[in-house]
Amino acid sequence: MARHKGRGWHGRLLAAALGVTAVAAATSMWTAQADTAGGRQPQARVSEPDARPQDRTVAKVAADIAHASDRGARGVNITIDDGPDPVWTPQVLRLLKDKGVKATFCMVGTQAQAHPDLVKEVVAAGHRLCNHTVSHDTTMDTKSEAYQSQQILDAERMITEASGGVRPQYYRAPGGAFTPYSRQLAASRGMRPLGWNVDSKDFERPGADTMVATVKSEISNGPTVLFHDAGGDRSQTLAALREILPWLKQQGYSFGFPVR
């Protein structure tokens, strides 16, 4: 899973997030690499997650990285990262409604906290929530367990509060920077680690036609497709979705959610 996202916007977001909640002191360093599309994981010591007391209402889920769809072999999972954004998320929601498609929104904690109305709209429309950390630090896998815990658990709280009590069902590491520790921690909180099979490359704004061609050529790699609704101008993303969603239906695919 490549680290494909620009750092400028996320750097500013990280600085803002540090003003919201203090980062715990570093205790140990991880060098585990990001997961691949096939879900291979580095072998490393996995300590017990240093998390808040376990909520008895939370059912643990598998800690391996999910790529499959709950709709089976002809299912497709549309995933939307980095929002919610007041300009682009409403437009994405309208488009998904028009096309009759449900998606999984991987939200950054500070964005969810700033725009709780949009989080509630996502939930009300029948989409699912995913934890994308507090500040989208793509170097998560090089940081201490305390830092990883703060990023994951604080984002879980922010998203849950913004939604009015609906918990995120998945955890996606920024840029794919999973570690064995972060996967186990997320799973212990009921959030299945979530990967992707097809990167639309919309963050690079290569043009809608290029994004569509990428999805068409790579959908055979697996069902989980990555798009974004924040981080700058997402007009190309909207144009690509308008074309690719009907095409996927014409090819006999149905839209579902990642397995949990």
Q: How many CB atoms lie within 10 A of CB 41?
A: 17
User: Which among 81, 28, 77, 76 has a CA at the least distance from the CA of 252?
Assistant: 76
> Which among 35, 81, 154, 202 is annotated as catalytic?
81
* Strand positions, DSSP E, the chain: 75-81, 103-107, 128-131, 170-171, 192-193, 198-199, 224-228, 254-255
| 228 given a catalytic annotation | yes
For residue 88, give the amino acid letter.
W
Sign of the alpha-carbon dihedral angle for 8, 11, 15, 21 = positive
Q: How far apart are the C-alpha atoms of 187 and 180, rounded to whole Å?
A: 11
Q: Which of 127, 132, 136, 228 is catalytic?
A: 228
Geometric angle at alpha carbon 184, from 182 and 185, rounded to 5°: 65
Question: Where in the sequence numbering do the catalytic residues fall?
Answer: 81, 228
